[in-house]
Amino acid sequence: MLTIMPEERYNPQLKMKYSKHTPYLESPPQKQGSLLEELILEGDILRGESVSDVLFRKGETRLLEADASGLQFFELAAANDPENCELFFSMGLSAFHFGSRPGNEKYLLPAIRFLNRVKRSDSLHPLGCAYFLLGQKRNEGHYIQKAKEIFEEAIKVEDQLSLEVRADLHWDNALVWVELAQHSGEALDNHIALKSFEKAAEIDEKLPAEFWQAFGNATLRLAEQVNDFSLFQKGIEHLKHAVSCELSAFSSWFDLGKAFAKIFYLTLDEEHFVQASESFTTAAELKPSDLNVWIATCHLLLTAGKHLQNRKMLTSGLDKCKRAARFHNRNIALNIIKARLLIAIGTAREEIKWIYDGQNILNSIEKTCETEPDYYLASGEAFEALGLYYDDLDYHFQGIEKFQKGIAFQSTHFHLWYAMGRCYLHCFDYAGEREDLQLALRFIKRALNLKASSLHHYSLAIALVKSAEIEEKIEPLELALDHFEKTFSLHQNVLYSLPEWHFSYAKALDMLGDYEDNEEHYAEAIDILSQILLADPTFPRIHYRLAIVYSHLGELLEDPGVFTRALHHYRLEQRRSDEDEEQLLLDWGVTLISLGACLEDPQEANKTFQMARQKLHEAARHGLASAFYQLACLEVQEENFTNALHYLNQAEKQDALPSYQEIMHDEWLEPIRDDLSFKEFMEKIGNTNKHG
């Protein structure tokens, strides 16, 4: 077998699948002299062996002893017997295995030279391997291309080879295409590689762990390129097969953990987190001094802890950092991830000490991290955390500066683009500046283009909903719903692990229902909110949001029964919490006005209006000035125009009126439009241009 794998798999005996020439000596001679002396000493042996056989055997022995002078014997053998294809084939294989050792790549050139002189179909496979290794070790693409061409020729005549060798041929061809894909970035190259892996597996079902490991990793690379979840699952199955072939193989367990982690980062599904964590734990037990497995574990716990809002995971990640520090205390990457964990813990607990501890670690390694993008990611996160803690925009902008510096060193670092978009979204929430929202949209889109994930789709959806609200346009909202759906297609269990994501989706559907007067959107929003209520009866503001959606649906259908359901949820919400009570009272009052307006019984309508007046007065007493405008609308419904104008003036004095256009199109004010006093009022606010 000549399968191209890392140097630790070097085994000269593998070439015997091809070579029928003189076997290796089990006890090579201890003393070596000049070539002439060696030949003189072989005088007795020459009676039974050809000169080329002796020269080959001596050269092969030297190479086995890691002595490059063995190639000199090969050159003498080649000169002595220039037409012996079997000899050149054996010398090529021996030189190939010697050249495949670390630091010996220059000796692949004589291997190529010998194999090129064979002119036989079974020499194409090792010749292609030699070109590939030379190109890989020297980072010269033309050798890789030559290997690809040779493998194409070898596969055309593969029927002349044994099944075992044919399987190796397709395995090696797959590795060549994997290398080509890494340089080209083309999904097609990875696809061709997978086809070769599949062909090898069809030929030989008992291929070793290394094959399944390479097959699995190649499948995962294509899965990431084309965002195909089924390919992620196939890649994991191949890596599981590798583990089953060799349960004590550290690299197989580590690769399996990384595969599960990739799916977790894509979906944020807790099941994949558990599987990744278990695989990393096994890998760490097999090789506790390996830094990479500890860092991968810490990254997994950091991501899970932040986005699943699980403080225990963050604390566990910090513990893993301490365990890794026993072997790698001064490692830069380890210190960066430790700082990020401390910052995340401080943000989750709202305790400033943790954030400063993380920032102190970053300050201590600053001089050694001037070109390290992850350092700027961590540093930016520290300022972002301070901004959230102190409610201070300046910290957020300092964080953005750090993220920008990191991007200057690595423009494809999607974590930095996402972090910058997230920070601008914080800025918009604080200051309401449209420019901040546009920048947030731009940077989150950039992160999504670099790395598809449920988190990026969800964050973009949230930003688009905010854009729809501020721009008062339906297009961003429709696009937001598309990203919500992509989020949930990736994360099947999000209703239970991250119910707030479905809550946001329901709010967006409610908004779309308002734009389109579509009963189905309201019904879907109610269904989602009801599922959240069943999954978590204590979910914050769930009854309030159900009341709002039922109210909007009632307005569309003019159905008193729907309004009754809304009122039921207002009462439940009021019992549970007094947070934002004035807004609850305002919306409750508006719903009662809508209910009263559609009741046919005048006495029932009047009773409902009185209840609405009570709720709105309570909201006004709590300091919500916009209640005065709704009181004006209520008075118009009862044809109390004088009182209505009084409340409109109250709202105007406190700058709590809607825009001029909204007032002019408000159906509840239709009965007062011809009133002279109302016309004068509208002319007055129109002249001030205060209400747009």
Give dist(CA 357, CA 382) in Å, integer: 10
What is the residue type of 518? N
493 with 269: CB under 8 angstroms?
yes
Residue 47 clears pLDDT 70, i.e. is over it: no
**Any idea what the Cα angle at residue 470 is, between residues 467 and 472, rounded to 5°?**
95
CA 494 to chain centre: 16
DSSP 56: H
Is 168 inside any structural domain? no
Q: What are phi and psi of 228, to 5 degrees?
A: -110, 110
Describe the crossing of helices 332-349 and 352-364 by its angle, rounded to 10 degrees: 160
Element housing 304 (H / E)? helix 291-307
Residue 669 lies in a domain: yes
Q: In sequence order, which ranges of 308-372 are alpha helices (DSSP H)?
A: 311-328, 332-349, 352-364
Q: How far apart are CA 631 and CA 621, in angstroms?
A: 13
CA distance 57 to 85: 16
| Cα-to-chain-centroid distance, residue 373 | 17
Please count the structural domains in the chain: 1
Which candidate, 214, 176, 168, 169, places its Cα nearest to that of 192?
Answer: 176
Q: What share of the chain is helix, strand, coil (3-state, %, to 5)?
A: 80, 0, 20
pLDDT score, position 8: 34
For residue 614, give the H/E element and its range: helix 602-621
User: Model confidence over 65-106: pLDDT tens digits?
Assistant: 999 999 999 999 999 889 899 999 999 999 999 999 989 999
Is the confidence at residue 32, as pLDDT, over 80?
no
Average pLDDT, stretch 529-541? 93
Tell me the two tokens of residue 554.
Answer: 């009632």
CA distance 164 to 134: 24
Q: Angle at Cα 342 formed by Cα 341 and Cα 346, nearest 5°?
A: 115
Residue of 40 and 295 predicted with greater confidence = 295
Neighbours of 568 (CB within 10 A): 14
pLDDT score at 51: 84
The whole-number pLDDT of residue 473 equals 93
Q: How far is CA 11 from CA 8, 97, 185, 605, 669, in A?
A: 9, 8, 32, 92, 89
In a domain, 683, yes or no: yes
- Torsion on CA atoms 376, 381, 384, 388, rounded to nearest 10: -170
Domain of residue 645 covers 625-692
pLDDT of 617 strictly over 80: yes
pLDDT at residue 42 tops 60:
no
Q: E-strand spans in 536-608?
A: none
Residue 98 domain-assigned? no
CB 373 within 8 A of CB 413: yes
SS3 per residue for 515-550: HHCCHHHHHHHHHHHHHHHHHCCCCCCHHHHHHHHH
In whole angstroms, what is the distance from residue 338 CA to residue 322 CA? Answer: 9
- The tokens for 272 are 């994949």
In a domain, residue 95? The reply is no
Residue 91 near residue 114 (C-beta atoms within 8 A): yes
Q: How many CB atoms lie within 10 A of CB 431?
A: 11
Q: Helical H runs in 15-123?
A: 35-41, 51-64, 70-80, 85-99, 108-116
Residue of higher predicted confidence among 254 and 57: 254
What is residue 119's predicted lDDT score, i.e. its pLDDT? 82
pTM of the model: 0.84
From the number of C-beta atoms within 10 Å of its C-beta (0-12, 13-18, 19+), residue 97 rates as buried
Cα angle 616, 621, 622 (rounded to 5 degrees) comes to 95
* φ and ψ of 247, to 5 deg: -65, -20
Of how many residues is the chain composed?
A: 692
Predicted confidence (pLDDT) per residue in 300-345, tens digit: 999 999 988 899 999 999 999 999 988 887 899 999 999 999 999 9
Q: Amino acid identity, residue 662?
A: E
What letter would DSSP give residue 632? Answer: H
pLDDT > 70: percent of the chain: 92
Tokens representing 598? 């559609």
- Residue 266: φ, ψ to 5°: -75, -40
626 band by pLDDT with thresholds 50, 70 and 90? very high
502's CB contacts (< 8 A; 6+ apart) are: 488, 494, 495, 528, 531, 532
Pick the range with the lowest mean pLDDT from 443-447, 449-453, 579-583: 579-583
Q: What's the confidence (pLDDT) of residue 35?
A: 53
Question: Is residue 253 within 8 Å of residue 272, measured between CB atoms?
Answer: no
Q: Is 403 within 8 Å of 419 (Cβ atoms)? A: yes
How far apart, in Å, are the Cα atoms of 219 and each of 195, 209, 235, 238, 458? 10, 15, 5, 9, 26
DSSP state of 673: T
CA distance 287 to 295: 13
d(CA 673, CA 679): 7
Do 649 and 686 contact (CB within 8 A), yes or no? no
Q: What is the band of 7 on the pLDDT scale with cuts at 50, 70, 90?
A: very low
The one-letter code for the residue type at 598 is C
- Residue at 681 is within a domain: yes
Q: Is the dihedral of CA 575, 577, 578, 581 positive or negative?
A: negative
Q: Which residue, 209, 179, 184, 183, is CA-closest to 196?
A: 179
Instruction: Give the confidence band of 578 by pLDDT, cuts at 50, 70, 90.
Output: low
Which residue is it, tokens 């159900």? 546
* Better-scored residue on pLDDT, 508 or 14: 508
Who contacts 369 (Cβ-Cβ below 8 Å, separation ≥6)?
Answer: 332, 336, 375
Higher pLDDT, 228 or 40: 228
**pLDDT-based confidence at residue 580 (cuts at 50, 70, 90):** low
- Between the alpha carbon of residue 396 and those of residues 46, 248, 424, 656, the distances in Å are 84, 47, 8, 30
- 278 within some domain: no
Is pLDDT at 24 greater than 50 in this prediction? no
DSSP state of 22: P
Q: Is there a domain that residue 651 lies in?
A: yes
Backbone angles phi, psi at 343, to 5 degrees: -65, -40
The string of pLDDT tens digits covering residues 143-154 is 999 999 999 999
The predicted-structure confidence for 379-432, as pLDDT tens digits, reads as follows 999 999 999 999 999 999 999 999 999 999 999 999 999 999 999 999 999 999
CA dist 276 and 278 (Å) reads 6
